Amino acid sequence: MLLPTDPLTADPLTQFFMKKFLSLKVSVVMILAIACWLSADCQKSELYPPFTKWYQDPMGLKPLRLSTAVGVAWASAAITASLVLTKKDSLFQKRITLYNENGYSFGYKFPYTTVLNTEFGLMYSVRKWMVIGLGCDLLHFNDKINHTSAIGIMPFSRWYPFVIQKTKLFFQYGGGMSYCFERFPLTGTGWAADTARVGTKFNLMSKYGLGIEFQINKRLSLETSVRHFHLSNGNIKGIQRNPSHDSNGIFAGIVYKLGT
């Protein structure tokens, strides 16, 4: 049966499905447009170091490329699909949680920068198995060439695919922006085509990884995770001003639920 051309003349059930269909259609079109634009503007693959191993950035490979700007489009698509295509649980109580986590990551390409990262913010549960959050990052970069700190902000989403009693396994992805007190990185990777580049104070960043939450009581949980961290400026000053930083690290933190 064809849907009525005028939604105002349709019955309530038909109107509901028409709204869902239109919402999904618009979201998909927007996400595809953003993905195409970001894909055309991201770093050129020939400037990536040839010695980078797949396991150093396992989800940075095509087609996902979560460590580049394209990852934001994929995350937006996943969040949109999670909200539009899944049914709300009327018994589920949405909650705001506060969190703080600290991590230390190690760069795997020259100049092998280490990163001390403190992040704090809030999360809002939109499904039993998904939360969205906003974090504030304090970062310190250190190696033989770079010694600088940065502040940043990063929206993210966290999915819980497996829950066993008081233990939750999660996957998290976030993308945001940062401002360094000095230009970073001050050099490329050391590869012949990538040594002379000097970074900028403003950079974009992404972070993804797997983790576990351990519930201590009704309000308090502890968490630990492994993350991949990427930082670059998206070629806003041209590709010759866009050396990138990539590292992997271990994080640990606390989660505190507000409300009853």
pLDDT at site 54:
82
Look at residues 204, 203, 245, 184 and name the one whose alpha carbon lies nearest to residue 52: 245
Domain spanning 90-257: CATH 1.10.10.10: no
Calculate what percentage of the chain has a pLDDT beyond 90. 48
pLDDT at site 65:
82
Q: What's the whole-model pTM score?
A: 0.78
Q: CB–CB of 98/122 below 8 Å?
A: yes
pLDDT exceeds 50 at position 2: no
What residues contact residue 5 under an 8 Å CB cut-off, 6+ apart? none
Query: What are the CA-CA distances from residue 199 to residues 147, 165, 183, 188, 225 (Å)?
Result: 13, 46, 6, 9, 29
Average of per-residue pLDDT values in the chain: 81
pLDDT at site 11:
62
pLDDT at site 40:
42
Q: For 79-103, what is the mean pLDDT?
A: 86
Question: Which residue is it, tokens 């019955």?
Answer: 11
pLDDT at site 154:
96
pLDDT at site 71:
86
Look at residues 156, 52, 60 and name the one whose alpha carbon lies nearest to residue 107: 52
Q: How confident is the model at residue 75 (pLDDT cuts 50, 70, 90)?
A: confident
Domain spans of the chain, in order of start: 90-257
Question: Which residue is it, tokens 């999360």?
Answer: 123
The token pair that represents 41 in the structure block:
């503007």
pLDDT exceeds 60 at position 228: yes
pLDDT exceeds 60 at position 10: no
pLDDT exceeds 50 at position 147: yes
Q: Identify the residue with better confidence: 33 or 115.
A: 115
pLDDT exceeds 50 at position 38: no
3-state secondary structure the chain: CCCCCCHHHCCHHHHHHHHHHHHHHHHHHHHHHHHHHHHHHCCCHHHCCCCCCHHHCCCCCCCCCCCCCHHHHHHHHHHHHHHHCCCCCCCCCCCEEEEEEEEEEEECCCCCCEEEEEEEEEEEEEECCEEEEEEEEEEEEECCCCEEEEEEEEEEEEEEEEEECCEEEEEEEEEEEEEEEEEECCCCCCCCCCCCCCCEEEEEEEEEEEEEEEECCCCEEEEEEEEEEEEECCCCCCHHHCCCEEEEEEEEEEEEECCC
Least confident of 35-44, 68-77, 94-103: 35-44
Least confident of 82-86, 173-177, 251-255: 82-86
Q: Identify the residue with better confidence: 133 or 86.
A: 133
